[in-house]
Every structure is written in structure tokens, then in C-alpha cells.
Amino acid sequence: MEFFRAHVLVCGGTGCTSSNSEKIRQEFEAQIKKNGLDKEVKIVTTGCHGLCAEGPIVVVYPEGAMYTMVRFEDVKEIVDEHLIKGRLVKRLMAGDKNAQDASKSLENVDFFKRQVRIALRNCGIINPESIDEYIAYDGYKALAKALTEMKPEEVVAEIKKSGLRGRGGAGFPTGLKWELTAKAAGDQKYVLCNADEGDPGAFMDRSVLEGDPHSVLEAMAIAGYAVGADQGYIYVRAEYPIAVKRLEIAVKQAREYNLLGKNIFGTNFSFDIELRLGAGAFVCGEETALMTSIEGHRGEPRPKPPFPAVSGLWKKPTLLNNVESYANIPVILNNGADWFTKIGSEKSKGTKVFAVGGKINNTGLVEIPIGTTLREIIYDIGGGIPNGKKFKAAQTGGPSGGCIPASKIDTPMDYEPLKELGSMMGSGGLIVMDEDNCMVDIARFFLEFTVDESCGKCPPCRIGTKRMLEILEKITSGKGEMEDIDKLELLAKNITASALCGLGQSAPQPVLSTLRFFRDEYIAHVKDKKCPAGVCKSMMSYVISADHCKSCGICAKNCPVGAISGEKKMPYSIDQEKCIKCGACMEKCPFKAIFKNA
């Protein structure tokens, strides 16, 4: 055994990688080598910790000291101070950077204290490219238990009992899905993993794949045993290069250990997994489109029934679960369904991961027991809204979901309560909005996304969403009429009723939900030709306050279109004809003399 006195964990998730964590890791290596510490200190690349807003993140054990926003130049200081002299570098520590308390470690940070990490249990803790580390954290124990101690029916029964529901969004009971596939007649069955994460802002699946790929492989093998399949496919988008690379390594390692392959654990059970890379079409996250794509055809959905459990991939019975659902499986088998049912709400057991973004202090991934209120997520874990702004709404479920207004902030985050509000749990994207967000514009943004991503197979989605977008554009550009709102609502209801797949059926949700809670904003756009939040450009203007202007001319210098003019000792003014409303002048004005006029 090699003994190291310290482990330096550098986050290698996509968030931290894009803020240069790879360079930081290399610099750690260089500095550690330079100081002759390479026999004493081990450097480990881990998956995402979830606190992406504070990245790049470095955790140093045995102290468990968490350094945030580490810059290249900081590495030398951490090595010199912490690793050589044993003094924590407090200015880089998470939380209150002036804290006198040196024991501020990972577990004590507010962001982590309130979380219950099941699906993300190993993310940021183990080296995702080491199967041994996964095994050390009870990895493949559940598979061993299932294969040697349990009958397939017992595995299915255990998952059913746990009450786990699909984490991809719809919340279909996972155990029931397994049972249906297990009972379906067929000589060949398949187990699929839906890793085609496409909702704007949602990245929990990517994090699991990058931080703990073996948990998905193990769960798929368990599923294969439970339903009687010997082949699995992971459908992952090619835009996730780090996830793909780590999955490839994981599959290779699992095969070397014969945890995938023939006669696993000396039993009769054989199971293998292959990756299929998606080209990034949103519709391929829909189960039938996903299977069509794996078969090598254009990714388009087909009508259901038959459901995949009966006739799925290559018309064989197929089990399809989402990455996060799979990540829960090994823990459920290890700890038992009874343990799992103690977490969560009455109807929905366990935890859900949310990707919290938008106007919130702690952008990142949080895993919380289902039923935790939106208020707790935003204020206790998320650290509240930046710049003292007021919370206005939270968008969940991405383009298929809706908005939760401030008045419903105590709604528990659970499948049914969210559905009642016209939103949905979805894959767990949670976009927080403050008073500066225009709800009509938000609806327009999501519609634009669905129009772009519609596969075009069925007319309601192909044509209907396009017409809706046109109406929304008309309204946001100040040309809307009152009957447009009614038309929009009628179209939305018809598309929901007639589209072929889940993508089309749910596409009008962002419009319906904003119409329900923020109809007054639509009316303000149409009747008063005003955008209350000052977002829609055609309905707002920038003005210079004559009382505050000191005629410094900075605004004029920064205006990209030369729309601002003025003379010394005279207040400047903006030519509204020329102004493109970029806001550069307001940002640069040292006297805060420029205002948005909504």
C-alpha cells in the first residue's frame, strides 16, 4: 500500500474544467514535485461537487479543507502554506472567507449541510476513473448481493417497495417499469440508460456520469438481471465529452474485472454495456425517439402503445431509465427499501437532484429529500437572490415545465404539487428569476427552444409551436392585441391535446403556466405596450437624468452606435432612433445617471 499524508482532490467536472481546473491540477503536480512532496501528497481528479458557482474547487484531506474559486496563482500558496507548513489558506476557504474558524470544511459549508446525497453520493469524493475507489465506497456490492442472494423477482420487488420514481421527469414508478419488462415475453431484452440530458440548465445526469460512472453501470447490470436482459446501451450526448470519456474508461475497467461480461461473480448471469452517442437533438431524450436513434434511424418518436416494456429497441422488450434513477438503485439494494422509504414525501420517496441556476447566489447542483420546499432550496441552500433583489418566480422542468410564482414559494418540490401548479419536476432544472425577468420573454425563450428542437414529424408540434412563437414575438415587440392572448391559449391547449410525443404535448407548458400566474404581464405588454420588468427592448428606453448627469462623456464613448451626444456642462442625451438598447451606457455611467424607462 502506498501511504500519502495528504490527498488533494481537484474537481474535474465540466463546470470546473471550463474554469481551468485541469491547468490547476497540473500546477499542483508541478508545485508538489518542485517541493519534493510527490511521495507524500496524492492528487486526485474527482467529479462535480455541485457548488459550480464557486469553482474551480479543490479539497485537501485529511483536513477536508475546501478551497473555492482557486486560481492558477493560488496553487503555489496552497502548496507552500497548507501542504508544507500545515496552515490553511483561509482566504480561499468556502463560506465566510474571513472566518476565524479554521475547521470550516466540506461538511460544514451551508450549501452541503442541508443536502442528502444519494445519487450524488460519490461525486467529488472518489476518483471517477478508478474502479477500485468506487468499490471501496461499496461499489458493485449491490450487484454481488443481487446476483448471489436474490432472485430476479426479489430485486424487482425491492425496487417496487422502495417507491423510487423516474427521475427523468415524468415520475413513473421505476419498480413497476421493471416488473412490466420482466414479465414481457421475449427471447432478447435490453436495458437502456437515457443520458440524453437536454433541458436548458439541467446537468445532474452529466455530473453523475462524470463523477460516478460506475454507479450507472452497476445499476444497469442489476436491472439486466432483474428483467432478464444481457445487453445494455447508454445513450449519451456527444456534447458531454468528459462524461463519454469517463464512461468508456468505466466500461473498460468493469470488463477487466468481469463485472461486465460473461458469468459475472461466477453465476450464469452475463451482461454487457455499449455506449451510443447522440448528436444532441432534444427529441432524442424522448424514449421512443431515443430507441429509434440507437437503431440507427433519424431520431423521431413513434406513437405509444406499444410501450417499450413490450416492444422497444428492435421491437424487443426494453427497460429504459434515466441516469439519476439508476444512480439510486445500488444504494436501495445495499440499504434496503425500508431505509429509502424513510426519505422523501408521502407519495415520492428518496431525493431529487436540482440544477439551480439563474438569479441565485449558489449556482450548482443540490440533492434534497423530495418534498423540500422551494423556499428552503432558494434561501437555505441556494443562499438567496443576489443584489438584494426580490424573488419573482422559479422555472422548473425546462421547456416542458412551468413557473412557480413567489406566492407559491412554500410549495414542496414533489411530482404532484408541481403538476398542480402547471409545472413539473422534469429532469430537475431550476431556474430562479427575480424582478428583472420578464415572464412573457421567458415563455418566448422556451418556445424558441422547442421550435428549434421540434423534430417535425407531427403538425401540432411542427406548425403549432411555430405559430405560438410568432404570437409571442408579436406581443414582446409591442404589436400584440388582446385577442392574441386568447389565440395563444387556444393553440396551447390544442397542441397539448394532439401532439405525438411528450416533447410536443408539453411544449406549451411555459406559456400556459406564465399565462396562469402572470397574465397581468401579458396584458401590460398588449394594452399598455409596456414591459414591466424592462426586458423587452421595443418597450423600453434608456434615459439620462439631467439632474444626475455630470457631463463626463463616458457614456458617449462607450455607446457602440454613437447614439449619445452632449457638451461640457450640459446634460447628455440619447437619440432614441439610433439606440439599440444594449445597456452599455447604463453599466458604465459612474454617477448612476442613466435609467431604464419601462
Partner 1 sequence: MKSIAELEAIRNKTLDEIKMRKNSNGIRIVVGMATCGIAAGARPVMNTFVEELGKRQLSDVSVTMTGCIGVCRLEPIVEVFDADGNKVTYVKMTAEKASRVVTEHIVNGRVCSDLTIDAAVNEGK
**In the complex with partner 1, which residue's Cβ is closer, 142 or 500?**
142
> Smallest distance, Å, CB 248 to partner 1?
20
Alpha-carbon gap, residue 469 to 476, rounded angstroms? 10
**Which is closer to partner 1, CB of 2 or CB of 73?**
2
Residue 138 binds partner 1, judged by CB under 8 A:
yes
By beta-carbon proximity to partner 1, the closer residue of 163 and 211 is 211
Query: Does 275 contact partner 1 by CB under 8 A?
Result: no
Q: Do residues 495 and 447 make contact, with C-beta atoms less than 8 angstroms apart?
A: no
The residue assigned the cell 400556459 is: 512
Q: Is residue 126 near partner 1 by the rule CB under 8 A?
A: yes
C-alpha to C-alpha distance for 65 and 240, rounded to whole angstroms:
29
Among candidate residues 197, 176, 180, 198, the one with its CA nearest the CA of residue 189: 180
Which of the residues 228 through 257 are near partner 1 (CB under 8 A)? 257
Residue choice 22, 64, 380, 556 for contact with partner 1 (CB under 8 A): 64
Pairing of strands 564-565, 65-67: unpaired
| Footprint (CB under 8 A) of partner 1, residues 143-182 | 144, 148
**Which one of 33, 62, 274, 390 is in contact with partner 1 (CB under 8 A)?**
62
Q: In the bound complex, what is the minimum distance in angstroms from residue 268's beta carbon to partner 1?
A: 13
Q: Is the peptide bond before 305 cis (omega within 30 degrees of 0)?
A: yes
Nearest distance from C-beta of residue 4 to partner 1, angstroms: 8
Please report whether residue 63 would count as binding partner 1 according to CB under 8 A.
yes
Whose Cβ is closer to partner 1: residue 1's or residue 185's?
Answer: 1
Q: H-type helices in 7-130, by residue range?
A: 14-18, 21-34, 74-77, 85, 110-113
> Is 543 a residue that touches partner 1 (CB under 8 A)?
no
Nearest to 216 by CA among 245, 190, 194: 194
Place of cell 428552503: 376
Burial letters 241-257, b for 16+ CB under 10 A, else e: ebbbebbebbbebbeee
Least distance from partner 1 to the Cβ atom of residue 106, Å: 9
Distance (Å) of CA 250 to CA 54, 129, 223:
28, 7, 18
Site for partner 1 in 83-122 (CB under 8 A): 83-87, 107
Rounded to 5 degrees, what are φ and ψ at 15?
A: -60, -50
Going edge to edge, which strands form the sheet with 402-405? 364-369, 351-358, 429-434, 391-396, 402-405
Stretch that binds partner 1, among 259-267, 397-405, 544-552, 590-598 (CB under 8 A): 259-267
Cβ–Cβ under 8 Å, residues 465 and 451: yes
Residue 70, classed as helix, strand or coil, is coil
Q: Pick from 133, 272, 434, 521: which binds partner 1 (CB under 8 A)?
A: 133
In angstroms, rounded to a whole number, what is the distance separating the alpha carbons of residues 176 and 251?
27
Residue 87 CB, nearest approach to partner 1 (Å): 6
User: Do residues 197 and 427 lie in contact, with contact meaning Cβ atoms separated by under 8 Å?
Assistant: yes
Binding status of residue 412 toward partner 1 by CB under 8 A: no
- Tell me whether residue 140 or residue 449 sits nearer to partner 1 (CB atom): 140
Residues 6+ apart with CB under 8 A from 3: none
Closest contact distance (angstroms) between CB of 266 and partner 1 is 5
Q: In whole angstroms, how close is the CB of 350 to partner 1 at the nearest point?
A: 23
Q: Which of residues 3-22 bind partner 1 (CB under 8 A)?
A: 3-7, 9
Nearer Cβ to partner 1 (2/187):
2
Binding mask 501-540 for partner 1 (x = CB under 8 A): ----------------------------------------
Q: Is 1 in the site for partner 1 (CB under 8 A)?
A: yes
Stretch that binds partner 1, among 13-21, 140-148, 239-247, 457-465 (CB under 8 A): 140-148
With binding defined as CB under 8 A, does residue 221 bind partner 1? no
* Choice between 61 and 172, CB closer to partner 1: 61
Q: Which is nearer to partner 1, 5 or 519 (CB)?
A: 5
| Site of grid cell 453520493 | 121
Given the complex with partner 1, which of 32 and 524 has the nearer CB atom? 32
| Piece of the chain touching partner 1 by CB under 8 A; list 1-9, 165-173, 467-475, 491-499 | 1-9
Task: Write out the binding residues for partner 1, residues 26-45 only, by CB under 8 A.
Answer: 39-40
d(CA 571, CA 230): 76
> Min. distance of Cβ 349 from partner 1 in angstroms?
27
R_g over Cα of the chain: 26
Tell me: cis bond preceding 56? Omega within 30 of 0 counts.
yes
CB of 116 to partner 1, least distance (A): 18
Backbone φ, ψ for residue 271 (5° rounding): -160, 135
Cα–Cα distance measured from residue 135 to residue 130, given in angstroms and rounded to the nearest whole number:
9
Integer CA distances (angstroms), 78 to 21, 82, 85, 382, in order: 15, 5, 10, 27
Considering only residues 391 through 410, tell me which ones interact with partner 1, judged by CB under 8 A. Answer: none
374's grid cell: 422551494
Summarize as ranges the residues that interact with partner 1 (CB under 8 A): 1-7, 9, 39-40, 61-64, 83-87, 107, 125-126, 130, 132-133, 135-136, 138-141, 144, 148, 257-259, 264-266
